[in-house]
Amino acid sequence: MLDSSTLQILFAGIGTGSIYALIAVGFTIIFKSTGALNFAQGEWAVMGGLLAAFAINDHSLPVWQACILAGLVVALIGAVTERLLIQPLHHATPFAITLVTVGISLLSKSLVMLTLGKNPAGYEGLSGNTYQDILGASVPTQTLWIVFITLVLMVLAHLFFNHTRWGCAMRASAANPAAASLVGIRHSRVVLTSFCIAAGVGGLAGTIITPLTLMSYDSGAMLGFKGFSAAMLGGLGSMVGATIGGLLLGIIESVVGGYLSSQYKDAVAFLILLIVLISRPQGLFGKADIHKV
């Protein structure tokens, strides 16, 4: 039987890992539709957290309304970004799109700093600053909300991509854009939708983590890297892999921080990424590429 301190560490890891999973899902959605890596994903999480903080602290909006509104605004920003900066790149390679997302990341960071300020921001969770006693461990209620919201979003994503016409169309276009276009599926709309969904998911991830860890304009790089590491660990391109990769990364970080030192916690993501790239580049649930000669 695990003691209360160990359980508390595990619950903290699951909560943090759920955020990494949501950011990793954003990477996966855009990778599946374009083959590119979106390095603005972490910045979108920052936008969501800071916009929600602005709505709550400056305009007294209820927390749940602010979180939903911030997620929708970031989704709109993702769609506008795709139309203005990605869509004009006709027949662009995945590498070209990846480079553009690096520029989007830098631009987003600067705009957030200029409009929302440099000071870290936070607010009370969806149930305030309350705690729940679970098997002797004192767990923030916000952590339970994070896990619940992540599970709901994962189920909705599964239903959307596997049981709706547009979701199946997006999968078909990602697998073979040329063949999909022959049956009337416009790849440009698929890319637009993927950026919109990825930005919305990232923004929502930022809103639900901010009550636990203050959000700052410069938090995006680390959040994005953790999400990328989670996606690589689970297998880039796999929704299930992104989810499990995020949870594993969060738990490992929490255990390292709890039993060794918090100074080593951030280094874990770098170490895991290196190990995965060297030993199993396709990740835990990804499929290795097969090249015929």
Maximum CA extent, the chain = 63
Q: Can you tell me the distance from the alpha carbon of 168 to that of 58, in angstroms, rounded to the nearest whole number?
A: 41
- What pLDDT score does 2 carry? 67
Query: Which of 223, 229, 235, 243 has its CA nearest to residue 271?
Result: 229
Q: Can you tell me the distance from the alpha carbon of 48 to that of 123, in angstroms, rounded to the nearest whole number?
A: 13
Mean pLDDT computed over 246-259: 87
Q: Can you tell me the distance from the alpha carbon of 210 to that of 187, in angstroms, rounded to the nearest whole number?
A: 35
Q: Which residues pair with 291 in a beta bridge?
A: none
Give the model confidence (pLDDT) of 108-122 as tens digits: 999 999 998 888 998
Mean pLDDT computed over 142-166: 88
Give the model confidence (pLDDT) of 196-237 as tens digits: 999 999 999 999 999 988 899 999 999 999 999 899 888 888
Q: Can you tell me the distance from the alpha carbon of 31 to that of 35, in angstroms, rounded to the nearest whole number?
A: 4
pLDDT band at 77 (very low <50, low <70, confident <90, very high): very high
Using an 8 Å Cβ cutoff, are 45 and 111 in contact? no
pTM, 2 dp: 0.90
Residue 64 tokens read as: 């749940």
Q: Can you tell me the distance from the alpha carbon of 39 to that of 225, in angstroms, rounded to the nearest whole number?
A: 8
Give the model confidence (pLDDT) of 276-289 as tens digits: 878 887 777 766 55
The sign of the CA dihedral 156, 159, 164, 167 is positive
- Within 8 A by CB and 6+ apart from 244, the residues are 21, 234, 284, 285
- What pLDDT score does 287 carry? 64
Mean pLDDT of the chain: 87
Structural domains of the chain ordered from first start: 8-279 (1.10.3470)
Residue 56: how many other CB atoms lie within 10 Å: 23
Segment (H or E) for 139: strand 137-140
Instruction: Indicate whether 184 pLDDT > 90.
Output: no
Percent of the residues in the chain that have a pLDDT greater than 90, as a whole number: 40
Mean pLDDT computed over 10-18: 90
Instruction: Indicate whether 291 pLDDT > 60.
Output: no
Rounded to 5°, the CA angle 156-161-167 comes to 120
Q: Which residues pair with 138 in a beta bridge?
A: 133
Mean pLDDT computed over 128-137: 84
Q: How many Å is the Cα radius of gyration of the chain?
A: 19
Give the model confidence (pLDDT) of 59-74 as tens digits: 989 999 999 999 999 9
Using an 8 Å Cβ cutoff, are 24 and 235 in contact? no
